[in-house]
Amino acid sequence: MTAAPEPSPSDAAPEAARDTVPAAPPLLIACALGIERLALRGRRRHGRASGPVTVVRTGMGPANAERAVVRALAGERLRDAAVVASGFCAGLAPGMRPGDLVVADETRGPGGPAGCTGTDLLVAALSRTVPGRTVHTGPLTGSDHVVRGQERAELRATGAIAVDMESAATLGSALGAGPRPVAAVRVVVDAPEYELVRIGTVRGGISAFRVLRAVLPALYDWHRSLLLPRR
């Protein structure tokens, strides 16, 4: 009887590779407003996630964000999810314009700072998927109200580049529920020279909405990068 040939290393490699590829964690994207959720759900056909994706509308303010994220992560399906806080924000630095992007390297809230995962990867992904838009990187600070005027300058003096009401609470709550990748990506809707009370607000809001619609494929790229081996 002739013995069956032994499989060559090249024959066995694909099966071994499949056995060692980890399962993709779910992705939870948290935003405050219905219009933000509409933007973040509107372009799924233009990108592909590497695992289940859930977009949650938390409601405005840090308390609502905290409750919604804790509730979402308490379920079995999203227990180990990577979490992204997204939506609109107020820029703090002079020269920022509606439609600019903010990628946080940390969020700052009453519970202390929360470091973000893969900031450089996210900036690179946004540069590919939203070309021509300025991407700012730095601390994103939290507030429980809309920030205007002198308060904006005071927050800028702390080193923060932007402010919103939910990101710090979202990431703090996510990390409080267990270790996981977290990130915050925001689109500037008003800035020192383009405050919400001014007549250009409507045009700036439309620009910010269009940019937010284009962010989702970059979040998918970031999500896929979590599976890549680290060097």
| Domain of 209, in residue numbers | 25-225
Q: In this structure, is residue 89 part of a structural domain?
A: yes
pLDDT of residue 202: 47
pLDDT of residue 84: 98
Q: In this structure, is residue 231 part of a structural domain?
A: no
Classified as helix, coil or strand, 86 is strand
DSSP one-letter code for 45: G
Number of domains composing the chain: 1
Answer whether 212's CB lies under 8 Å from 86's CB: yes
pLDDT of residue 90: 92
pLDDT of residue 193: 67
**Distance between CA atoms of residues 162 and 156, nearest Å:** 8
Q: In this structure, is residue 159 part of a structural domain?
A: yes
- Which regions of the chain are under pLDDT 50? 1-2, 4, 7-19, 44-46, 197-202, 229-231
pTM for this prediction: 0.83
Residue range 84-102, pLDDT digits in tens: 999 999 999 888 988 999 9
Q: In this structure, is residue 57 part of a structural domain?
A: yes
pLDDT of residue 230: 43
Q: In this structure, is residue 83 part of a structural domain?
A: yes
pLDDT of residue 72: 96
Query: How open is the CA angle 87-93-97, to the nearest 5 degrees?
Result: 55
Q: Among residues 202, 203, 204, which one has the least CA distance to residue 189?
A: 204
CATH of the domain at 167: 3.40.50.1580
Give the residue carrying structure tokens 């390297």: 105
Q: Among residues 118, 81, 82, which one has the least CA distance to residue 103?
A: 118
Q: What dihedral angle (degrees, nearest 10) is formed by the CA atoms of 82, 176, 115, 92? A: 100
CB atoms within 10 A of CB 177: 18
Q: Among residues 68, 96, 48, which one has the least CA distance to residue 221?
A: 48
pLDDT of residue 10: 43
Classified as helix, coil or strand, 97 is coil
Q: In this structure, is residue 13 part of a structural domain?
A: no
pLDDT of residue 188: 93
Q: How far is CA 120 from the centre of its chain?
A: 13
Q: In this structure, is residue 212 part of a structural domain?
A: yes
**Distance between CA atoms of residues 25 and 224, nearest Å:** 9
Q: In this structure, is residue 102 part of a structural domain?
A: yes
DSSP strands (E only) in 133-181:
135-142, 162-164
**Distance between CA atoms of residues 170 and 83, nearest Å:** 8
Residue range 33-58, pLDDT digits in tens: 999 999 998 654 445 666 689 999 99
pLDDT of residue 148: 80
